[in-house]
């Protein structure tokens, strides 16, 4: 995904051999290689920052959705409980209606 932005692999860095002059490694070659490494590390840092921010955003959204699901489950349970719960007042109304029907037919 991000491989097109990264020039060196860990193996490239490990296997890098510099040519040796009479005074040691060629400074220009070492500097060029280090510049590539610096760009890669900078890109790695940018990728890490982007992914960290994306991760934080997704975690926040996930937490929000979890809270919404809990709330909806609670609402569903309340509605289900309200439909099944019969109070004494409901029972008295039903008895009263049944008495009217029964006594009304006998009279």
Pairing of strands 24-25, 20-21: antiparallel
Nearest residue to 40 (alpha-carbon basis) of 21, 74, 16, 56: 16
The more confidently predicted of residues 20 and 93 is: 93
Average pLDDT, the chain: 82
The more confidently predicted of residues 40 and 57 is: 57
Give the confidence band of 55 by pLDDT, cuts at 50, 70, 90. very high
Joined together, the tokens standing for residue 61 give: 């959204």
Average pLDDT of the segment spanning 58-74: 92
Rounded Cα gap, residues 94 and 88, in angstroms: 10
Please give the C-alpha separations between residue 47 and each of 9, 50, 84, 101, in angstroms, as whole numbers.
16, 5, 55, 78
The more confidently predicted of residues 98 and 58 is: 58
Beta bridge partners of residue 60, listed in sequence order: none
Where b means 16+ CB within 10 Å and e means fewer, 97-106 reads eeeeeeeeee
Average pLDDT of the segment spanning 74-89: 72
């Amino acid at each position: 995904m991000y491989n097109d932005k990264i020039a060196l692999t860990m193996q490239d860095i490990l296997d890098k051999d510099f040519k040796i002059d009479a005074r040691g490694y060629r400074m220009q070659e070492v500097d060029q290689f280090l510049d590539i490494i610096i760009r890669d590390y900078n890109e790695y840092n940018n990728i890490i920052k982007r992914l960290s921010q994306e991760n934080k955003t997704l975690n926040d959204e996930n937490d929000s959705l979890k809270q919404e699901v809990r709330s909806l489950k609670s609402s569903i349970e309340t509605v289900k409980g309200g439909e099944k719960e019969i109070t004494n007042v409901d029972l008295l109304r039903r008895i009263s209606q049944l008495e009217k029907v029964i006594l009304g037919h006998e009279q």
